[in-house]
Amino acid sequence: MTGITLLHLYPRELGINGDIGNVMALAKRAQWRGMPLRVHNHEIGSPLPDAAHLVHIGSGPVSAQELVREDLYRIAPRLREWAEAGVPFLAIAGGWQLLGRELTALDGSLSIGAGVFPSSAVLTTRRAVGEVAASGDIAGFENHGAVTTLLDGALPLATTLHGRGNAAGGGPAKDAAEGVIAGASIGTNLHGPFLPMNPSWADRLLRAAAALAGMPFGDDEGRCAEPDDYARKSRAAIRSRLGV
């Protein structure tokens, strides 16, 4: 049993709003469950590992996205192969935009994405910034300037119950999609970071990764109980502040 390989794409360029916390949460929860996990940080120009059982990509400004775009095109065929084979991805905001099918910039120019997620995004001058409570007891923080459309009947991760505010005035629209579920993969606009705030989704990703790695999903022997309770209280606090 060699363990789970977690591929972290462009950690230096794409990691704002605490996105590294998702990787830390996955590694710690795997440790608590007795499942060996190795993080492979992928930098621009470097080779991909021979195999990956889980992939994470964080968010970043347009300037950072432009820095990684050429390299992402280079590795996109392998990423699509892995996704089609059931490898779970977690893509946050700008990372989700890059792994979608296409992205329209503010000047109207169109870029082809990596095609991992059945979604397309259009950048806007209006940013959604603030706390969000969504369906399914999901909560977090959003900071993005894009309208994302789910394609081919893709399932939304959750719908917005309420948002705290918007930098351009006015909150995000109610019933807006806060993410997408595509097979074993998740794309979302929620930071916070997302997984420590919503740990059941971390376990969902780890369960899929463990199956691919040929190992059982281990028993945490109660070690997840305390951080999960903190997460529940944090989600409840957000919902209380938002009046949901």
Whether the predicted pLDDT of 167 surpasses 50: no
Instruction: Specify whether the backbone of 38 is left (phi greater than 0), alpha (psi in -120 to 50) or beta.
Output: beta
What local confidence, expressed as pLDDT, does residue 171 receive? 43
What local confidence, expressed as pLDDT, does residue 43 receive? 97
- Set out the domains of the chain in order of their start, with CATH numbers: 4-242 (3.40.50.880)
Provide the token pair at 100: 């979608």
- Supply the DSSP symbol for 129: E
φ, ψ of residue 193 to 5 degrees: the values are: -75, 165
What local confidence, expressed as pLDDT, does residue 174 receive? 38
Helix (H, G, I), strand (E, B) or coil at 64: helix
What local confidence, expressed as pLDDT, does residue 165 receive? 54
Of the chain, the end-to-end C-alpha distance in Å amounts to 45
| Arithmetic mean of pLDDT over the chain | 92
Q: What is the largest CA-CA distance in the chain?
A: 53
Question: Measured in whole angstroms, how far is the alpha carbon of residue 141 from the centre of its chain?
Answer: 13
pTM to 2 decimals?
0.94
Residues 140 and 234: their CA atoms lie apart, in Å, by 9
Over residues 36-94, the pLDDT tens digits come to 999 999 999 999 999 999 999 999 999 999 999 999 999 999 999 999 999 999 999 99
